[in-house]
Structure 1
Amino acid sequence: MSSLKGDFGRGLIVVGPVLVTLVLLYILYSFIARFTPAVLINADVLGVFLPGVNEFVLAQLAAVLRVLTFVALLCLAMYGIGQTTDTTTGEVLEGIVDYLANRVPLIRVIYNASKTATETALGAGDTLQTPVRLETWNGLRMTAFKTGRTTTDGRVLLFLPTSPNITTGFVLEVSPEEITELDETVEEALTRVVSAGFGDADRAEADIDELSLSVVGEMEIERGPPKK
């Protein structure tokens, strides 16, 4: 019975995220397909270029084309806005948006939370820098990230994210000698935090295998060839 539950659990771990991703993509696709206007791309317009095709197929194809067009335009708009923010005008406009959003109580909470989450998830390479290991209390060590900023008394500002939700956490002021930089990238450290520590399983197994091979190799070298 335990073997059956274990196999079912492992299968659920593999299939579950895939199903959740597909459901979310379907919901997003359905929303965009209904949101985009069907004035330019509809079944009647496609019927001119694809005569003889079933009307239902034309309607579904038109919905797909509307979604692709919307996504393409959205990507172009975000790219253009991103290019604009690098200029002085873009910085001024961003400051105005921040100012207006922070004047409304409810909008302020949603805006700041979504902005922080986006900056942490998508802009990790810019907002979070070198991952470090920090010993907190009683020998307990935690993974944190340098923010690139220091206090007036020379302490390093660290961001200590929670697991598995990295959009929340703590800002710590730590002396430089109390932290140890890790020999890994920001993405690798974030993967470990987001996966609640399971993201290092493959790496740990590889290290164990490499260690075993090294030990076996050393034993064979010390033992030498068999005596005749």
Structure 2
Amino acid sequence: MSSVKGDFGRGLILILPILVTVFLLYTLYSFLASVTPGIILNADTLEIVAPGTSEFARERVAGFLRVLTFVGFLALTMYAIGQVTETTTGELLEGLVDYAANRVPGIRVIYNASKTATETTFGSEGTLQTPVKLETWDGFRMTAFKTGRTTRDGRVTLFLPTSPNITTGFILEVSPEEITELDETVEEALTRVVSAGFGDADRAETDLEDGVTVVGELQTDRKRQQ
């Protein structure tokens, strides 16, 4: 029974993320296809390009082209805004938006959380860098990230995120000799933090294969010896 349950669990772990991803992508695609205007790209327009095809097929192709056009336009718009923010005028506008958003109590929390998450993921400056281990108490280590900043007295500035919400955390200033750099990428370390530690499951399985003994196996061996 336990074997069947374990096989079912492993299959669920493999399939469920794929199903959730496909569902979210389909929902997003359906939403964009429904909200984008069909004045130019519609089934009637494609009838001129592809005569003889069914209206159902033309409508599906038109919806796909509308979504593709919308995503391309959105990407160009974000790129243009990014170029503008590098100028003095852009910095002034960004400051006005921050000021206005922080004046509204409800919007302030959502705005700052989403901005922090976006800057952490896509920002070119202030992006999380090398993941490190920091011994906060005797025998306890926590995962933190270098920010690329140092204090005037030479201490390294670290960001210690909370789990599983990495948009909140603590700013630490520690001596360089007190931290240990990890042989992993930022994405791997963030996965461990977001998953509340379960992101190390693959590494744990590898350690078991390399010779780490399971406690249950030790107890079974002892019973056999007795």
SS at match of 2:41: coil
Range 122-131 or range 61-70, more displaced: 122-131
Q: Give the structure 2 partner of residue 46 of structure 1.
A: 46
Answer yes or no: is the 8 Å Cα contact 2:121–2:127 preserved in 1: no
SS at match of 2:148: strand
Q: Deviations over 1:76-130 (max 9, x none)?
A: 1111112222222221221121112112222212111111111123338842122
Report the CA distance shift for 1:88/1:124 in structure 2 as closer, same or farther (over 3 A): closer
Q: Give the structure 2 partner of residue 92 of structure 1.
A: 92
Q: Give the structure 1 partner of residue 131 of structure 2.
A: 131
Could you tell me how far 1:138 is from its partner in structure 2? 3.0
Q: Using the alignment, how far apart are the partners of 2:108 and 2:201 within structure 1?
A: 40
Q: Give the structure 2 partner of residue 106 of structure 1.
A: 106
Q: Give the structure 2 partner of residue 145 of structure 1.
A: 145
Q: Give the structure 1 partner of residue 160 of structure 2.
A: 160
Answer yes or no: is the 8 Å Cα contact 1:163–1:193 preserved in 2: yes
1:80 aligns with 2:80: yes
SS at match of 2:137: coil
Residue segments in structure 2 that go unaligned for 5+ positions in a row: 212-226
- What is the TM-score with the length of structure 2 in the denominator? 0.81
Structure 2 counterparts to residues 1-228 of structure 1, below 5 A: 1-123=1-123, 126-151=126-151, 155-200=155-200, 202=202
- What is the TM-score with the length of structure 1 in the denominator? 0.81
**Percent identical:** 73
Q: Deviations over 1:181-212 (max 9, x none)?
A: 3344333322333344454555566688789x
Report the CA distance shift for 1:205/1:126 in structure 2 as closer, same or farther (over 3 A): farther
Q: Using the alignment, how far apart are the partners of 1:165 and 1:199 within structure 2?
A: 14
Q: Give the aligned length.
A: 212
CA RMSD after TM alignment: 2.6
Q: Using the alignment, how far apart are the partners of 1:201 and 1:105 within structure 2?
A: 40
Answer yes or no: is the 8 Å Cα contact 1:121–1:167 preserved in 2: no
Q: Give the structure 2 partner of residue 222 of structure 1.
A: none
SS at match of 1:127: coil
Report the CA distance shift for 1:163/1:112 in structure 2 as closer, same or farther (over 3 A): same
Answer yes or no: is the 8 Å Cα contact 1:124–1:186 preserved in 2: no
Partner amino acid for 2:4? L
Could you tell me how far 1:5 is from its partner in structure 2? 0.7
Partner amino acid for 1:94? E
Answer yes or no: is the 8 Å Cα contact 1:156–1:176 preserved in 2: yes
Residue segments in structure 1 that go unaligned for 5+ positions in a row: 212-228
SS at match of 1:141: strand
Answer yes or no: is the 8 Å Cα contact 1:192–1:200 preserved in 2: yes
